[in-house]
Amino acid sequence: MNNRNPAQGSMVPPAPTPTPTQTPTYLNVFTVEEYERDGKPQKRWTKIGAAFPHKEGIGFSIELKAFPMDGRLVALPPDGDDRSK
């Protein structure tokens, strides 16, 4: 059994269907580099990909153009300035 197609009679309730206004069509994927400048901690956010919801249900397909050195990824919904992507 896989988690995409639970057996009938399963005790797990179905996930609620999100409305289009609640869920973006994709998430931006970033790597975050922490560094110091003038003695102050800083963070540099670099967009390295996108995550798209599965058509079959819960889950995401993730497309990366780079891999983070520390293995940490941050996925966030697009902001208002991200219209062209």
- What is residue 55's predicted lDDT score, i.e. its pLDDT? 85
> Whole-number mean pLDDT of the chain?
80
Who wins on pLDDT, 68 or 3?
Answer: 68
Q: Which of 1, 10, 3 is nearest to 58 (CA)?
A: 3
Query: Which letter, b or e, does each residue of 32-49 get, where b requires 16 or more Cβ atoms within 10 Å of its Cβ?
Result: eeeeeeeeeeeeeeeebb
- What is residue 6's predicted lDDT score, i.e. its pLDDT? 46
- What is residue 13's predicted lDDT score, i.e. its pLDDT? 57
Does the reported pTM lie above 0.85? no
- What is residue 49's predicted lDDT score, i.e. its pLDDT? 97
**Segment 33-52, tens digit of pLDDT:** 999 999 999 999 999 999 99
Q: Where along the chain do its domains lie?
A: 27-76
